A and B are shown apart, each in its own frame.
Chain A
Amino acid sequence: MLKHLRQSGTLIGLLGIVLFFALQLPDTFLTARNLLNVSQQISMLAVTAFTMTIVMVMGDFDLSVGSTASLAGIVAAVLFAAGWPVWAGVAAALAIGVVGGLLNGALVAYVGILPFIATLGTLTIFSGTAFLVSDGKTIFGRDIPPGFAGFARSGVTLTEGVTVPAMSIAAVLVLLVVYVTLEHTIYGRRLYAIGGNVHAAELAGLNVRRLRLSAFALTGLGAAMAGLMYASRVASANPTQGAGLMLDAIAAVFLGMTMGRQGEPHVMATLVGVLILGILDNGLTQMNVDSYVREILIGGIVVAAVAMSSYGRARG
């Protein structure tokens, strides 16, 4: 009973937050328009956090996702400016994400550097590269093709005035893919086994290095996708625009981990974490809470949730 309470505590927290804003902002919060708006606002964080879950399942981290996102946006924009068609620029940017992820994976799995240090290093490398490629400038205006920027403004219209944004749909698709991969494939099971005990996984014949390498590549791919979504939404690219994603993504996974049976991450739980962060941000903004105060509040909530969960676990 106590255990169930601990596991579902985070979910109850989410419902509490929704209820709170619904009461505080009766006219604006629980409207289809606002909720769809929230879903678009959080879609980039969602994609990053969902794919971050893949490496965190193995007990690893990727601190470089933010700068990977920035780099991907910059690369696409620079290629657009050079006259590449939209599909080619997007493909190249995604490829950059995969390559960055492979670099992280190689450093962690083959060279044997702790993920924290390896990805801290590549964070700087990717971000430096983004500045180098873009000359430190924001790329915008005519350099960004309307076909690319249009994606963020498009959507599927359900009824008059209710349009599900394409970005939200993209995030849901990523969620489903990651969910099936982690929970319903042998591959996912193996990643969880590595998270459970790397040494034992290796002795039991799992190809730990290759699995880690590929998982980091997927996280890099997700980060690049998020970077492209961001660039599309603001119709511009600058070398720091993904910077905020990393901490929020890790916080979302941590919030989700409070719901795991053994404290392990699951992507559906990460979704709850993303919703908590996204809804808090949206609601507090609407209530005109100062953005610094907002950061303090959100940070406090993350720490409190994780602390409560580990305290509960220690007590059994």
Chain B
Amino acid sequence: MDSLSLIGLSKAYGGVPALRDVTLHLAPGRVHALMGENGAGKSTLIKLIAGVVPADAMVVRRGATAVSLRNAADAAAAGFRFIHQELNIVPQLSVAENILLGHPSPRRFGVLVDWARMHDRARAALAFLGAAHIDVTRQAGDLGTGDRMLMRIASALVVEEGQAAPCLYVLDEPTAALTATESAKLFAVMSRLTAQGAAILYVSHRMEEVMAVCDDVTVLRDGAHAMAAPIAQTTQTAIIQTMTGRQQTAEPPTGPVVRGAVACDAIGVVSGRLRDISFTLQAGEVLGLAGLEEAGQGDLLRLLLGMGRVKSGQLRVLGGPAPTSPVQAWARGVAYVPRERRSEGLMLGMDVRCNTLLPHLGSFGILARKGPETVRTRDLADKVRLRYRAPDQTVRELSGGNQQKVIFARAIAGNPRLLLLEEPTRGVDVGARAEIHALIRGLSAQGCAVILASSDLPELLGLSHRVLIQQDGRQAALIDRAGLTADQLLARVYSPNPA
């Protein structure tokens, strides 16, 4: 196969440049990492070559021939396959229908859908991905986050009969929603695809991952090309330096818990799928929640947010009974970062100011007061290193990682006493991730209790004082972080109580 050249890509949104004259060469059989801070222009570049956003300037060549990419159909015909950062699934349709969406569905007599064949093809795509456990007849909306991602990846892997194999796969942060095991399966598939001669353009903020699976790297900074090199000839430090313009410093460990009041006390709590939940959380303590995907981490956080009912056992939160609604929880000083930023977190059509201050608007009085709200928003946005134009910019226009930062800013805006976090740094770049970690440590030092569910093990280990491991809703172990390595933690996730 010929190599692909993306030449002189430029795009401005409303006069503000998001991408400035970027050129990229993709060699067949190689994985090319596209790196850059949140808002650097990675997703924009991808949308241009996918034909979903019109480019201001762009030339794409395969070998010596020009490829025209005016719309999504052009891109598909050129053999490009995409997994976008924020493409939503159709929750009401089955997994099989979602996987074959955008491909002509197999027919019988020309009109009837050939369900059997449809299911076979969807199953084949999932099996190729090592995700045969997903039932293709289930409604997509019932899948967990990781399985949804696998389903979307499978959808990009479907090759129509009689069609040439795709020559380029573009993956925009596919692992942000995957556990370590699921990611490993994806990497295995990627190496099979490159062995078949396809090129892969890969976006991720997880440095270790990029260093391990990619062959080349291009770094964007403020929408412009900043560096391109084979991975073997560069270092993680150099890449981060180019991305951020700063040296990466190691994060300090979380300080010891200053024994104070009890923030949260659970004794043998049973609720929904949750069983045997027993722990005492001190003010200022950070409790990590680990487990396989959907082992009940989300259920536990939502119970504390007042979304569930305690069936038996005792649960006390911030010196009172467990809250019975999120309204009550927030009013008592609980704050929450949900797992899915777009469906559970943001009002995409509303501005940064309103999204950030939403739970705390009441503290400004009855009348909306734009002045003080704007000041407060600016202050919070700086804290989380939000890259945005103005407090009244709509959140839809922010890059994925920056949308995530808005939700985090919202959670810390009211000086919470109990902070519930689900994947707080999903899709956030290295620099801002360290900044958010520092904010969490700062809150903890001031006596805010934190419960953190994260599939990012270094994050979990770096922040927590103790780790609670769940297995299918049950509390399987509660262990001290001290002296625990990531490998040991991973092992405990699979078998919580070693002999």
Contact = CB atoms under 8 A, between A and B. Distances in A.
Interface of A: 183-190, 192-193, 196-197, 199-207, 261-262, 264
B361 A205 contact: no
Contact of A192 (B345, B350, B396): B350
Among A189, A199, A201, which residue has the most Cβ atoms of chain B within 10 A?
A189
Contact of A204 (B307, B358, B365): B358
14 contacts: A185-B366, A186-B361, A189-B361, A190-B358, A192-B354, A193-B354, A196-B349, A197-B343, A197-B346, A197-B348, A200-B344, A200-B345, A203-B307, A205-B327
B368 interface: yes
B364 A204 contact: no
What are the nearest 5 A-B pairs in CB distance? A196-B347, A205-B330, A262-B349, A205-B359, A186-B361
Contacts of A192: 347, 350, 354
B350 A196 contact: yes
Contacts of B359: 204-206
Interface string B412-423: 000000000000
Given A186-B368, A203-B338, 20 more contacts: A186-B361, A186-B365, A186-B367, A193-B347, A193-B350, A193-B358, A196-B347, A196-B348, A196-B349, A197-B343, A197-B346, A199-B344, A200-B343, A200-B344, A200-B346, A204-B336, A205-B329, A207-B327, A261-B349, A262-B396
B362 interface: yes
A203 B305 contact: yes
Contact of A190 (B325, B329, B330, B361): B361
B338 A200 contact: yes
B264 to A, nearest CB: 18
B197 interface: no
Interface residues of B, number: 31
Among B345, B349, B394, which residue has the most Cβ atoms of chain A within 10 A?
B349
B495 to A, nearest CB: 33
Given A202-B326, A204-B330, A204-B359, A184 B368 contact: yes
B331 interface: yes
A200 B354 contact: no
A186 B327 contact: no
Contacts of A187: 366
Given A186-B362, A190-B361, A203 B394 contact: no
Contacts of B275: none
Contacts of B331: 205
B350 A185 contact: no
A205 B367 contact: no
Given A196-B350, A204-B326, A189 B368 contact: yes
Contacts of A186: 361-362, 364-368
B426 interface: no
Interface in B346-395: 346-350, 354, 358-359, 361-362, 364-368, 394
B16 to A, nearest CB: 15
Contacts of A201: 347, 358
Contact of B347 (A183, A185, A197, A207): A197
B410 interface: yes
B358 A262 contact: no
Contacts of A202: 326
Nearest to A197: B347
A188 to B, nearest CB: 7
Nearest to A186: B361
A105 B14 CA distance: 41
A54 B359 CA distance: 20
Contact of A185 (B326, B338, B368): B368
